[in-house]
Amino acid sequence: MKNNIAENHLSKYGRFGDTEMYRTTKTGPGKGELWHVNPQEKSLMDMYGQSGEKLVDLIGSGTKNPITNKEEKWLATAALFGLSLYQGAEGASNLRESARETLGLIDSQQDALDESSIKLDESVKAKRNLITKKSKKELGEISKITGDKMESIFKETEKISSGTGFAHSGQVENIKNESIEDTRESFKSMQEELSGEYGKSLGEISGMYDMETARIKAEKDRLSLERKLVEAQSKRKFLGIF
């Protein structure tokens, strides 16, 4: 708990949108060290683990925070605005070069989102197939149990009917019919319960899919807007921007 408080305390020193602290994996590019990251990068690593960590390491700035001495992963698009006040001395050509690099980073992020969409579709399809197979298997099992019970009822009542000293055969028929009806009702109840669980599971998967699809779309829209802004900036001269 103390470590978490101390780590979170460092987040206030983050720059250019890095409002979070993230403890990297020991076997990933961060080697277990703390990184300054923005909320989107943290979400990416929470969701995809070490693969997300590698992507953030690729697209992040990789600079050292001057106060915490921790590596920071602010995106160049955010830094472009934060640094613009003192970039004027380097001239418009340097700004345009920086913009081209930023466009490359945006492309990398867009490619990662496209890959995430593909993996999401594959994951959802696999989960749906698994649930469907499981449901069919369970339905087959309860159908077999019901069939075996029906067969047992017929055999037992036939055995009783052929015996001697038992009450009127009509009573045997009534017992058989009642047993069959109870078995059918039991099967119907189990079938409805199984169908409800199947529908609930599919609903949960669809909800997760819609939520993640919306998140990816929002990220793509954000990157598309950033691309337009950076492309426009790369075509201007420094004094025309500020």
pLDDT at 224: 84
Residue 56 shares a structural domain with residue 119: no
At residue 82, the pLDDT reads 41
The pLDDT, as a whole number, for residue 172 is: 72
* Residues linked to residue 201 through DSSP beta bridges, in sequence order: none
21: Cβ contacts below 8 Å, ≥ 6 apart: 7, 8, 10, 11, 14, 34, 35, 36, 37, 70
Q: Report the run of H or E that residue 64 belongs to, with start and end.
A: strand 63-64
Q: How confident is the model at residue 60 (pLDDT cuts 50, 70, 90)?
A: confident
CB 84 within 8 A of CB 23: no
Q: How far is CA 174 from the centre of its chain?
A: 56
149 in the same domain as 202: yes
Q: Are residues 197 and 132 in the same domain?
A: yes
**54-61: average pLDDT:** 82
Q: Rounded mean pLDDT of the chain? A: 79
State which residues form the domain around 55: 2-74
19, 13 contact by CB (below 8 A): no
**Same-domain pairing of 55 and 145:** no
Q: Would you say 34 and 47 are in contact if contact means Cβ atoms under 8 Å apart?
A: no
How far is CA 48 from its chain centroid?
Answer: 8
Chain Cα centroid distance, residue 164: 68
Give yes or no: residues 15 and 67 share one domain. yes
Residue 109 in any domain: the answer is no
Would you say residue 99 lies in a domain? Answer: no
Domain match, 67 and 130 both: no
Q: Are 132 and 45 found together in one domain?
A: no
Q: Is the pLDDT of residue 88 over 60?
A: no
How open is the CA angle 210-113-77, to the nearest 5 degrees?
120
The pLDDT tens digits of the residues spanning 32-50 come to 999 999 988 888 888 888 8
**Residue 212 and residue 151 share a domain:** yes
User: Domain boundary residue among 59, 74, 89?
Assistant: 74
Residue 10 lies in a domain: yes
pLDDT confidence of 80, banded at 50, 70, 90?
A: very low
Digit-coded pLDDT (tens) for 115-156: 888 888 988 899 999 999 999 999 999 999 988 888 888 888
Sign of CA pseudo-dihedral 74, 75, 76, 82: negative
3-state secondary structure of 241: helix
What does the alpha-carbon distance between residue 230 and residue 236 come to, in Å, rounded to a whole number?
Answer: 10
Give the number of domains in the chain.
Answer: 2
Of 74, 102, 137, the residue at which a domain comes to its end is 74
- Is residue 93 domain-resident? no
Q: Which helix (H) or strand (E) holds 20?
A: strand 20-23
Position 96 confidence tier, pLDDT thresholds 50, 70, 90 = low
* 87 belongs to a structural domain: no
